[in-house]
Structure 1
Amino acid sequence: MLPVEDTLVTYPSGAVETAATVAHVRDLTDGRRAVLLDVTSVHPVDAGWPDQGADRAVLRSGTDEIIVLDCVVGATDGADLYLGRDIPVGKGTEGWAFVVVHIVVGDCALAEGDSVATSVDVGFRARTSAGHTACHLASLALNLAVADRWKKEPRSDALGTPDFDGTAIDVSLITENTSTDTYRLGKSLRKKGFVTGGLEEALPTIERFINATLATWVATDAAVHIDRDGDRLTDRRYWALDLPGQTLRIPCGGTHVSALSELGSLRVILSMQDVEGTNVLTMVTRVG
């Protein structure tokens, strides 16, 4: 039977291995197989905001080691299983369970009730976590760098700065030691009060400001942790940074380093392109 409760997840605490029980196995139309566990340390791709990819991982059962080909968020009403963007309801919908779906080869021998252990590639997790922490830091520094370009009062970020990142973000992609964020500078953003005129010419100055800000923050070796309302997949989680004198919190379901010193150094590169008549700002943030 399909689970009636959300999957328990241990990756927010930094876990890379977890003992689990197989809750459900289902064949997919592409010939692969979906494995649902009661608990997992494997970070899945989120359906709503797929910025961070899935962990590299294996499921160990006895002497067998089963490679996790992909890992995604799914949802079930007890009868059907929906994956990723095919999920028809929002998280927390009554009568639905949200689950982590481990996708494996079609001939794997796992069955409901089997005991397994999830094991995540530690190096890949660390590099991806560094990219995600760098993404949050860079977004906060970018907000500071363009704070004087607002004619209206927008929403604020975790620092109390006008939230350009949250207002203009189009796509965010987290990879190993890198994040790439793109921002649309179109009519909607201008109506909200952001001044785009002269921004391209100012990019070198903005870039230097961001990089100097990032260097200052990294030098504090501030602690990073994930605050969470519970251990289920749908429980709210927050990225928290303990800067000297204040703690910042940003809603986030991803994985992160535990201290800024783990990043070594950060470098942001800004560029602007015209995409079908709309200016698009790209910020690439690299670790190391």
Structure 2
Amino acid sequence: MHGNTLVTFPSGALTGEAVVREVLALEGGFGVVCDTTPFHPVDHTWPDQPADRGVLTARSEAYAVEDCLIGAAPRDGSAPLAVGPGIPVRRGEEGWDWHVVHVLAADPGPLTGERVRLDVDAERRYGLSAGHTLCELAGLALNRMLAPHWTKEAKPDALGAPDFDKLAITDSRISARASVDHYRLGKSLRRKGFSAEGLAAGLPGIEAGVNTLMAGWIAEDAPVGVAAEGPGIDALRHFRCGLAEGEASALCGGTHVTRTGELGQVRITLELSGDGSELRMEAACS
């Protein structure tokens, strides 16, 4: 089973035909690996966006794809395919191939070498794509509003503000047309130059500023896309948004809508923990 799975989800694809490379037993189900797929898998190292769901059709029989995972195997065949958190190496490890594993509840039987059809649940994909675009833009808006809290020069984001979002984030979760991010305001961030002095008192104004920026970017109806450095699931991918003030870009393995105007009405809320050690950002669009 040589060669990485080729993926078409970066271009927004929802359907496709593929040749099955392997069927394997998984805990509570069965995994089907194909040579190509439109399905977006959950990333085992940063599981912010949930996996696509949908249908795999083989021999005129439809099987529900209930999850989609990343798998990896040594190219020399010295070990079986490892899946999700069980993968023992980092992506890009020399001598390893990377795959998308479609998880079925029902046993599809022997399919290796057969051609199948893959159909992604379009409504679910669109909701998650909107949530991910929302999350990326909200992070940039938060960076802009928190810029005065930096006392040292920090790594900038694509629009030139200190990249608080990437430097402080500890967890991110995407859902349909929504996202929740958690940021750690600890010693490590203070050493990098971030000062939380006055943050609690100023939080309502920061929140209002984030919402104002988001409303402006959505009103622009700016183009959004995913740029991939290669066709395989192992390739780096980038979120890109052509705002009037410049192109916003960031490493991102997820899916996105095609224009900011698709997000509609947006509401961002910020909450600081009681001890001031964590900032929570919740975003929703309709």
Unaligned runs of 5+ in 2: none
Structure 1 residues 278 and 244: alpha-carbon distance in aligned structure 2, compared to 1, 3 A threshold: closer
Q: Does 1:114 align with 2:114?
A: yes
- Three-state SS of the structure 1 residue aligned to 2:273 is strand
Q: Which amino acid aligns with 2:43?
A: D
Q: Which residue of 1 aligns with 2:22?
A: 24
- Native 8 Å contact 1:186 1:278 kept in 2: no
Superposed displacement of residue 157, structure 1: 0.5
Structure 1 residues 195 and 31: alpha-carbon distance in aligned structure 2, compared to 1, 3 A threshold: closer
Superposed displacement of residue 109, structure 1: 2.4
Q: Percent identity?
A: 44
- Three-state SS of the structure 1 residue aligned to 2:180 is strand
- Three-state SS of the structure 1 residue aligned to 2:277 is strand
Distance in 1 (CA, whole Å) between partners of 2:128 and 2:161 is: 27
Of the candidates 45, 49, 52, which is equivalent to residue 52 of structure 1? 49
Superposed displacement of residue 105, structure 1: 2.1
Q: Which residue of 1 aligns with 2:104?
A: 104
Q: Does 1:207 align with 2:207?
A: yes
Q: Which residue of 2 aligns with 1:281?
A: 279
Q: Which residue of 1 aligns with 2:73?
A: 76
Distance in 2 (CA, whole Å) between partners of 1:265 and 1:203 is: 21
Q: Which residue of 1 aligns with 2:195?
A: 195
Q: Which moved more, 1:49-58 or 1:277-286?
A: 277-286
Q: Which residue of 2 aligns with 1:261?
A: 261
- Native 8 Å contact 1:27 1:33 kept in 2: yes
Unaligned runs of 5+ in 1: none
Q: Which residue of 2 aligns with 1:221?
A: 221
Superposed displacement of residue 154, structure 1: 1.0
Superposed displacement of residue 153, structure 1: 0.9
Q: Which residue of 1 aligns with 2:241?
A: 241
Q: Which residue of 2 aligns with 1:128?
A: 128
- Three-state SS of the structure 2 residue aligned to 1:146 is helix
- Native 8 Å contact 1:53 1:174 kept in 2: yes
- Native 8 Å contact 1:24 1:112 kept in 2: yes
The count of residues paired between Structure 1 and Structure 2 equals: 283
Distance in 1 (CA, whole Å) between partners of 2:268 and 2:238 is: 24
Q: Which amino acid aligns with 2:217?
A: W
Q: Which moved more, 1:139-148 or 1:222-231?
A: 222-231
- Three-state SS of the structure 2 residue aligned to 1:69 is strand
Q: Does 1:13 align with 2:3?
A: no
Q: Which residue of 2 aligns with 1:94?
A: 94
Tell me how large the CA RMSD over aligned residues is.
1.2
Moved over 6 A (4+): none
TM-score for the superposition, normalised by structure 2: 0.96
- Native 8 Å contact 1:214 1:266 kept in 2: yes
Q: Does 1:42 align with 2:39?
A: yes
Distance in 2 (CA, whole Å) between partners of 1:221 and 1:281 is: 29
- Native 8 Å contact 1:230 1:236 kept in 2: yes
Superposed displacement of residue 245, structure 1: 4.9
- Native 8 Å contact 1:31 1:106 kept in 2: no
- Native 8 Å contact 1:19 1:118 kept in 2: yes
Superposed displacement of residue 183, structure 1: 0.3
- Native 8 Å contact 1:57 1:119 kept in 2: yes
Superposed displacement of residue 57, structure 1: 1.1
- Native 8 Å contact 1:27 1:106 kept in 2: no
Q: Which amino acid aligns with 2:53?
A: R
- Native 8 Å contact 1:182 1:283 kept in 2: yes
Q: Which residue of 2 aligns with 1:163?
A: 163
Distance in 2 (CA, whole Å) between partners of 1:137 and 1:110 is: 44
Of the candidates 58, 63, 76, which is equivalent to residue 61 of structure 1? 58
- Native 8 Å contact 1:19 1:117 kept in 2: yes
- Three-state SS of the structure 2 residue aligned to 1:281 is strand
Q: Which amino acid aligns with 1:71?
A: C
